[in-house]
Structure 1
Amino acid sequence: MTVRRKILVTGASSGLGEGMARAFAARGRDLALCARRTDRLEALREDLLAAHPGITVSVRSLDVNDHQQVFDVFRALRTDLGGLDRVVVNAGLGKGRPIGTGRFDANLQTAQTNFTAALAQCEAAMEIFRAQRAGHLVVVSSMSAMRGLPRSLTTYAASKAGVSALAEGIRAEMLQARSPIAVTTLHPGYIATDLSAGAAKTPMMTSTEKGVRAMVRAIEREGAEAKVPAWPWVPVGFLLRRLPLRLVTKVS
C-alpha cells in the first residue's frame, strides 16, 4: 500500500479536521492544514510539532467559500511541502432550516459551503494530482447523504448527497482512465464534535476519538467508500437505502 506522507486537511482548526490532523501527525506524516481560524491552527501546529518533532506542519488561512483562495492556498501548501500526496476535503457546515420557512439564507450558506466549496477544493486538488500523475482525494460526506431527510436536515442531506455523487464521478473518470489517482468517499455517522455538542443525546453518537480513528483507518485503506464507524453505520446505511420514506423520517 502506498504511504501518503504529505497530507492536506481543510477545516483543520477543530472537530474532525483537527482530530484527523492529530492522528496523521502521530503516524509521522507531514501536514498542510487550513481553516479560517488561524489562531487555532497556529496553536495546533505548535502542539503537533512539540509531540512529533520530526514532522513538517504548514498552516494557511482559508475560507473555502472564497474559491480563488482555495486554488491559491492549495498551490502554496503544495509548494510548502514539496508536493501533496493526499487532500482531505473536510470543511463543511451543518446549519439549515425547513424549506419554505423564510430561512433561505441559512440553507443557501449550507449548500454553498458543503457542495460548491467542496467542488472548488476537489478541482484544486485534482489539478495538482493530475500534474503529479498521483495522489489520493478524500471527500468527507455524511450518512445523511443516503436519503432525503426532513426539516432542518433537508438542505444538509442534499448537499452531502451531491458531494458523494461528485466524488463518485471523479472516481469513475480515474477508473476509466486507469489513473493511479485514488478517490475515497467517507460517510461518517453521528460523531461528537464541538459542532454537535447540542446533540449529545443523539442515539448512536460516537466519541470524537473513536470516530476519528475509524475515519483515518478508512482513509489509509483507500477504498472507494466507507461508512464510519462501521458499527452501527454499515447496517444503518443498508436500512436507510431500503426503508420506506415514512419510516426514514421517524429516525432522522
Structure 2
Amino acid sequence: MTDRTTILITGASSGLGEGMARRWAARGKNLALCARRLDRLEELRAELVAANPAIRVAVRELDVVDGDAVERVFGELDDELGGIDRFVLNAGLGKGASIGTGKAHANRETAMVNAVGTLNQAEAATMLLRQRGEGHLVFISSVSALRGMPKAQNTYGASKAFVSSLAQGLYAELDSAGSRITVSDILPGYIRTDINRSVKTALMTEFDEGVDALVKTIDAEPVRAFVPAKPWKALGPLLTALPEKISRRFV
C-alpha cells in the first residue's frame, strides 16, 4: 500500500465525499475538494483545518459536466498543493424516473453527471498522473452497475456501469504498459446518504460504517472492490449470474 499525501475528491460538499474528506484530514492528508456548492466547501475547509492545523485544504467550485473547467480546476489544484497523488472521482447524481414517464430531464442530468462528468474527470486526472508517472485514480461506481436496474434507478445503474467499464479499460491499458498509475474501480453498496434516501432495503449500511469501509478499501488500492465487503463481496458476483427474477430481490 502506497502512502498518498495529497488527495483530490470531487462531490466533496456532502455525503460520501464529505465523509472521506473528514477521515483523510484526520490522518494528516492534504486535500483538494471540489463540488458545485462552494459555500459548503469553504465551511468544510475551515472546519478541517481548525481540527487538523498541519494539513492544507484547497477548494474549488466545479461542475464536472464542463470538461474545460475540470481540466483547468484539476491543474490549478495540482499546482497549488504541489502535486496530487490520488484523485477520487466521486461526484455523482442519483436522480431518475422510469423511462418514458415524462421526467427525461432527471435521467439526462444523471447520465451527464455520472457518465460524461466521470469521463471529464478521468481525462484531466490521468493527464496529470501520466505527466508525473505515478499516482492513484479512484472511480466511485456502485453495485447498481452490475446489471440493469428498474424504475428510478435505471439510468443511475446504467451510468455507473459506464463508470466501471471506463475504470476497467483504463486499468487494462495502464497495467499492460507497466505504468505506476494505479486504477481502482470501487463499487459501494447501499450506504445511508441522501442519494439513497428513497431506497428501502435490509442491506443498507449506516453512514459512518460505510465511509470507514470506503476509506480503508481505497487506501488498499485494489483493482476492484465492493464496499462494504460484507455482504457485497459475496452478493456482487451473484447479481450478474443469477436469473433476473432472483437477482432483483437483492437490489
Q: Shorter-chain TM-score: which interval?
A: over 0.9
Which residue does the alignment assign to 1:225? 224
2:217 aligned partner, one-letter code: A
Q: What displacement does 1:250 show?
A: 3.6
2:115 aligned partner, one-letter code: F
CA distance in 1, matches of 2:140, 2:126: 16
Q: What displacement does 1:229 show?
A: 0.4
CA distance in 2, matches of 1:195, 1:155: 14
Q: Please show how residues 1-16 of structure 1 align to structure 2 within 5 Å.
A: 1-16=1-16
CA distance in 1, matches of 2:197, 2:232: 20
Question: Which digits, 9 at most, give the CA deviation of each residue in 1:173-217, with x for residues without a partner?
Answer: 111100000000110001011333344x53111111111111111
1:95 aligned partner, one-letter code: K
Q: Please show how residues 181-196 of structure 1 align to structure 2 within 5 Å.
A: 181-196=181-196
Which residue does the alignment assign to 1:207? 206
**2:8 aligned with 1:47:** no
CA distance in 2, matches of 1:29, 1:44: 15
1:107 aligned partner, one-letter code: N
- Equivalent pairs: percent with the same residue? 53
Which residue does the alignment assign to 1:106? 106
Which residue does the alignment assign to 1:82? 82
Aligned pair count reads 251
CA distance in 2, matches of 1:250, 1:179: 40
CA distance in 2, matches of 1:92, 1:113: 6
- TM-score (normalised: structure 1): 0.97
CA distance in 2, matches of 1:152, 1:196: 11
Which residue does the alignment assign to 1:240? 239
Q: What displacement does 1:118 show?
A: 0.2
Which residue does the alignment assign to 1:124? 124
Which residue does the alignment assign to 1:142? 142
CA distance in 1, matches of 2:248, 2:106: 21
- Please give the secondary structure, in 1, of the residue aligned with 2:180: coil
Out of 133-142 and 148-157, give the one that drifted further. 148-157
1:244 aligned partner, one-letter code: P
CA distance in 1, matches of 2:2, 2:155: 36
Q: Which runs of 5+ in 1 are unaligned?
A: none
Question: Which digits, 9 at most, give the CA deviation of each residue in 1:92-130, with x for residues without a partner?
Answer: 000111112222211111111100110000000000000
Q: Please show how residues 24-43 of structure 1 align to structure 2 within 5 Å.
A: 24-43=24-43
Q: Which runs of 5+ in 2 are unaligned?
A: none
Which residue does the alignment assign to 2:115? 115
- Please give the secondary structure, in 2, of the residue aligned with 1:41: helix
- Please give the secondary structure, in 2, of the residue aligned with 1:60: strand
Which residue does the alignment assign to 1:18? 18
Question: Which digits, 9 at most, give the CA deviation of each residue in 1:19-50, with x for residues without a partner?
Answer: 00011111110000010111110111011111
CA distance in 1, matches of 2:57, 2:250: 41
CA distance in 2, matches of 1:214, 1:174: 26
